[in-house]
Amino acid sequence: MTDRVEFGLGKGKVFPHQKARSLLHPVRRLIQSPQALVRWIGLRGDETVLELGCGPGYFSIALRDATPRGRLVLFDLQPEMLSMAVERTGSRSGLAAVTGNAVALPFTCLVRSTSCSSPPSSGKSRPAWHPCRK
C-alpha cells in the first residue's frame, strides 16, 4: 500500500466512512461475533492493544472489555470512523484514539496484531508479536 489512498468498496480501496453504518448492522453479529473473536485472541486483560483500522468500532467494545487493566488504542485513517468508534467505546482510562495511516505508524513499540477479518473458524494462525515500523 502506498500513501495514496483511494476510497471505495472495491478491492484495494479504503472503505469510506459514509458507509460506516453498514459495518454495525445487527445481522453481522450472527456471522461474526466480536466477543468470540476477542476471546480467541486470548488476552489476559493487562495488554496494550492497537486496533488498526478500527472503523466505527465494531470490535472495539469487545476489545475494551477484554483489556480492563490494559490499554486500547483505536487507530484509523479516517477521523470520522474514529469518532464513531470513540462514541461507541466511551471514555475510560487507558483508552486512546489516534488518526493515522498504518503504512507509517506513529508508534515506537511492539504490538500484538491480528486480523479482525479472520474469524476463529478460518483456521488461520493465532496472533503474534510484530514490531511497529518506527
- Where do contacts with ligand SAM occur on this chain (CB under 6 A)? 1, 14-15, 23, 53-55, 58-59, 76-78, 81, 101-103, 116
Question: Beta partners for 7?
Answer: 14
In the bound state with ligand SAM, the residue whose beta carbon lies nearer, of 27 and 69, is 27
Closest distance to ligand SAM from the beta carbon of 101 (Å):
5
Shortest-Cβ-distance residue relative to ligand SAM: 55
Q: What nine digits make up the cell of 96?
A: 486512546
In the bound state with ligand SAM, the residue whose beta carbon lies nearer, of 1 and 31, is 1
Closest distance to ligand SAM from the beta carbon of 100 (Å):
6
| CA atoms of 7 and 66, how far apart (whole Å) | 31
Closest distance to ligand SAM from the beta carbon of 124 (Å):
15
In the bound state with ligand SAM, the residue whose beta carbon lies nearer, of 10 and 90, is 10
Cα-based distances in Å from 90 to 34, 61, 75, 126? 17, 9, 15, 28
* 15 within 8 A of 9, measured Cβ to Cβ: yes
Closest distance to ligand SAM from the beta carbon of 94 (Å):
20
Q: Which of 64, 72, 62, 68 is nearest to 45 (CA)?
A: 68
